[in-house]
């Protein structure tokens, strides 16, 4: 098949993105994936920009990690949108797929998003690529099954998504019952926060969740220091924070 497909994803989503690439290759598509397509010594930023321009089709993997993240994945999305503007309006260039049912970025709202957790999503993806490129393809049944299982396993690991309208009821997904506490994993240990005013102390470092922010306080050479991170996504098994240009994921206590 002649149509080159570029797969864009956040580093945190390497496992489900890799499953997607394996499935597409099993179907016979030519896929550019940075993890195995970049060569030692190459300037990865330059090569990625060139490959985005060269690709016939770009699949953007959306997730709570990628949508809320600051980093090169956002530049990839902007480059893709710029390339789409240069192509005939009748030509499909971007296919957004959702890994975890996340909110769609406003820049992509006009495009239909394929939810990879939906029934028959793998067949619909192959069909969408065929409609866009003219390349007919069929993936073996076991490839469909393996891909569906990989996405299902990934979603189970994330847990149930907590919708914004439920934040006040669920309080970050793990405030429980009349005693109201939050327990999460940080610095290699579990900690319990009884309320928003009382921090968790783990290994001499104090963690505190307040609204949509995570505060960390510790004693350094200059005295007490505090960092602040924004909680960008909430799930019943974990939450993701962003600060200083990078994402960090924390697990809720079971």
- DSSP secondary structure of 38-79: --TT--HHHHHHHHHHH-SEEEEEE-HHHHT--SHHHHHHHH
In 3D space, the residue among 92, 253, 235 whose CA is nearest the CA of residue 163 turns out to be 235
- Residue 25: exposure state from Cβ atoms within 10 A (0-12, 13-18, ≥19): middle
Instruction: With a cut of 80, say whether residue 140 has pLDDT above it.
Output: yes
Q: What is the pTM of this model?
A: 0.66
Tell me the pLDDT tens digit for each residue of 49-103: 899 999 999 999 998 777 766 667 788 888 888 988 888 888 999 999 999 888 7
Q: How many beta carbons lie within 10 A of that of residue 118, not counting itself?
A: 12
- Give the whole-angstrom CA distance, residue 160 versus residue 234: 9
List the one residue out of 223, 247, 221 whose CA is nearest residue 64. 247
Give the residue extent of every domain in the chain: 4-158, 164-251
Per the structure block, which two tokens stand in for 194?
């009884």
Mean pLDDT value across residues 139-166 = 77
Q: For the chain, how many helices (H) and strands (E)?
A: 8, 13
Question: In this predicted model, what pLDDT tens digit does every residue of 185-211 receive, in sequence order?
Answer: 566 565 666 566 667 777 778 877 777
Inter-residue contact 62 to 102 (CB < 8 Å): yes
Q: Domain 4-158 belongs to what architecture? A: 3-Layer(aba) Sandwich (3.40)
pLDDT in tens, 120-131: 999 999 999 999
Element (H, E) at 83: helix 72-86
Model pLDDT, residue 122? 94
Using a pLDDT cut of 70, give the percent of the chain over it. Answer: 78
| CA 243 to each of CA 70, 71, 193, 201, 231: distance values in angstroms, whole numbers, following the listed order | 8, 11, 21, 21, 9
């Amino acid at each position: 098949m002649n149509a080159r497909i570029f797969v864009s994803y956040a580093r945190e989503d390497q496992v489900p993105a890799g499953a997607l690439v394996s499935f597409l290759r099993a179907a016979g598509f030519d896929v550019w994936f940075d993890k195995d397509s970049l060569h030692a010594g190459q300037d990865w930023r330059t090569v990625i920009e060139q490959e985005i321009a060269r690709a016939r089709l770009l699949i953007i993997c959306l997730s709570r990690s990628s949508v809320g993240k600051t980093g090169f994945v956002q530049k990839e999305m902007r480059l893709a949108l710029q390339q789409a503007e240069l192509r005939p309006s009748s030509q499909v260039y971007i296919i957004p797929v959702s890994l975890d049912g996340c909110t769609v970025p406003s820049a992509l709202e006009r495009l239909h998003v394929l939810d990879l957790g939906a029934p028959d999503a793998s067949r619909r993806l192959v069909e969408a690529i065929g409609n866009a490129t003219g390349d007919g393809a069929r993936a073996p049944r076991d490839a469909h099954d393996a891909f569906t299982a990989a996405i299902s396993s990934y979603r189970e690991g994330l847990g149930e998504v907590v919708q914004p309208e439920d934040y006040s009821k669920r309080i970050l997904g793990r405030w429980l019952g009349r005693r109201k506490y939050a327990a999460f994993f940080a610095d290699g240990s579990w900690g319990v926060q009884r309320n928003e005013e009382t921090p968790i102390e783990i290994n001499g470092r104090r963690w505190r969740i307040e609204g949509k922010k995570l505060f960390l306080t510790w004693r350094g050479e200059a005295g007490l220091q505090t960092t602040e991170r924004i909680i960008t996504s909430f799930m019943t098994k974990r939450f993701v924070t962003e600060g200083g240009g990078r994402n960090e994921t924390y697990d809720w206590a079971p």
